[in-house]
Structure 1
Amino acid sequence: MTIALIYVAIFIAAFVAVRATGRFVERQRDFTSLKTVTFGDESAVRPNRIASIISVLAIFLIWGAFTGSKITPIHAPGPFLGETSFTYTAQAPDLSTDEGVVRVNVHRVGEDAAKPEGADGGEGFAKDDAASVAAWRSGLIRVDRNDVGGDAEGYKVIAIDGQPIAPGETVKLADGTVTMTPKGTLNFSPDPGWQMEKIWLPAPEDVWNRLIEIGTDGYRGFTLWEHVGWSLMRVVAGFALGSAVGIPLGYAMGLSNWFRGWFDPIVEFMRPVPPLALIPLVIIWFGIDETGKIVLLFLAALWIMTIAARAGVSGVNITKIHAAYSLGASKWQILRHVIIPNSLPEIFTGARVAMGVCWGTVVAAELVAAEKGAGQMIVAASKFQLTDIVIMGIVLIGIVGYGIDILMRLAENWLVPWKGRS
């Protein structure tokens, strides 16, 4: 929740700052800037590159601030480290009370730290104690084992730093909390701060170092580029098959009442079914080799491409068809010169969506006994809690997916330059 609020605050501050300075710095001199009415006109909306840069920097700034990164100038409060202490009040079976001191050394995870030095002395039955606890962890402190008569029936701890405590209750301290278990044992948890432990979210430089390591040495017997290459091969194969079947089927449904009536129930039934739900059936029918993975990606792309082609045909301006008929065009000429060119923008939009779905589904497809692939690398790393590899794989998948989308946009601009024109 705190991270979300910080992100919203950065967004608002950046928006106000860019808007305030943009009037004096930026002066557009293109056709869009000459429009008198732009609100609601999609063609007048262009991505603000400054906003894009600030958005990416804000994500990395927040990421580094909450992971203690060395490359960010500011950091969120980290976990408590060092020595701390608290007093406990013990009650003997005869209802007499005495106070002892517990000294705790809080150290970093993975480091060996000795308990603080402290004499187990005192005139009363409550003796001082010491413990060592790792940051973000908790530790049981058995003060009863150190106290005189701590094993006697009726002995119990009744207060921490003067605050009453009972089984199941928690007392807040300056550097952490003390919770009493149902059996009366003290459990000390140092203050975790706002930063996240590496096992949950590593710092950006840790992910980068892991990328360099795997890019150099590979992972599980395959190089990084082999993992990514196999994922791309599966996605391209599944998408190509889905397009090869879906586009002609969509054209047929858009041009023929019979085809539309026959296939419409099937398409509309399968369209909302997520590809993940088909994995068990794909395994039963096609096995766990490459065929099963490609079939799953084929099904992920098939229905999207079918609907995109059908929508493209249905969206062709009827006046163009009438004009072609009036000029003596045949049905084949209308299909070739009118319907196909005017439906291509809708098909390219569907292709971008289908490719994104396939690229996202490849992780699930590679769960099926894959030896290589970006998804398989993520799954294998998650089993050993290698969060840096998991995040590296996720970022890599996002970058490759974004690159694919950019290439498809460029292809659309090159192959369909008439998009948006009537």
Structure 2
Amino acid sequence: MKPVSPATQAIFKHKITKYLVEDEVVMNWGVLKKCILMLALGCGIHVSWLIWDIFVLLNPQYWQYVDTSIVRQQVSTNSIFLLILIFLIYPCYKFRNNLQVERYLPFFAIGIFVFSLCRDAYVVGVVSPVSMIAYVSLVTVGLVLFPRVLVYSMLIPASIFLTVCGYLSYTNQLAYAPVFTIEEKLFFNGFWLASMFYFILPILAICLVLFEILLSQWRHREKLIQHLSQIDPLTNLFNRRSINQCLDALNNQTPESYALVLLDLDHFKKINDHYGHDKGDETLIRVSHVLTQLLRESDVVGRFGGEEFILVLKNSNLEKARQVAERCRAAIQQIEIFSDEGERIPVTASFGIALSSPNLRPQQLLSQADKALYQAKACGRNLVKAYNQSFENSTQLHPDSA
């Protein structure tokens, strides 16, 4: 069986990461898939209502606190809403990949869900703890999960309905909390308090769980974005921005000397032009693997440009840096990459070394390593050169780094 190339492995790994890390995040679900989540939440709320209705009807000692005719009506109403919400889950699942259905079905599904909750809010009191907590929690979750146009198209009529019901109740034109017959001292009535707690608990628990999931995934995605901003996506090495931050940290924190090694792949443009960019990408990936394997854990390796890499060798002197660079140069030269026709593609690199000193800023050190690298290329490539003062006065023309 033909082995899978590192480039193919990198692409496959990227796709798997995208699926596991991005597509399975709740915030990245499609609108209809999120609708299923909210419909399931609505089903849970109506089931809890039905349990309360049946419990009250089966216990006559609580009839003095409720209007039993409304409670019986609630059994039918909550059952109907429960069946409707269950029924709506199927088209949301069936057409979750249909863009045309996805545009309109959420308004209907979430609309039924919100309407059913508004009616229940009227029955127990529009300014009761249950209604207020449900209103705030569900609106907050909705704004996180759904487009604003969907949330506000439901929020505005629901707010108007609850405001009108509150006003009519205040002016005695409409019964307030008609399911209860408790006229005063609600907070001193054990049955009312227990009922409020019972209605609040499932809504609050489910919304808190959703908040925790969404917050955890948001934090994870922020860490992923931060990681991706520091890493070169092809080679999985530090990018130029991360290397610059590393150099600034070393310059400000450590008194020990460190070596900077710049390396550039020789005639890399020819690899892309003659063998294709996929072979060029494979070359970069293979080189990055070699560099990573040959360095210490305390050292830093990054991709500094197109075909240019950088090594930061901590607590190192010039002789140690030269030895490391020579090992890397020899290992790169031994990399075996073949064209589609089976022809071996030669891979070599030129190296430039510069050693830190207290009076050198990171950019000056980079400039010295760059001059040493150009000197290595000018002397025939596939060489290691360390910076010395004579390079400053060199009139050698800038070599072609392709």
Tell me if TM exceeds 0.5. no
Q: State the TM-score bracket (shorter-chain normalisation).
A: under 0.3
User: Structure 1 or 2: larger strand share?
Assistant: 1
User: Structure 1 or 2: larger helix share?
Assistant: 2
Q: Normalising to structure 1: TM-score of the pair? A: 0.21
Give the number of the structure with larger relative contact order, counting CA–CA contacts within 8 Å between residues 6 or more apart.
Answer: 2
Say which one has the larger Rg. Answer: 2
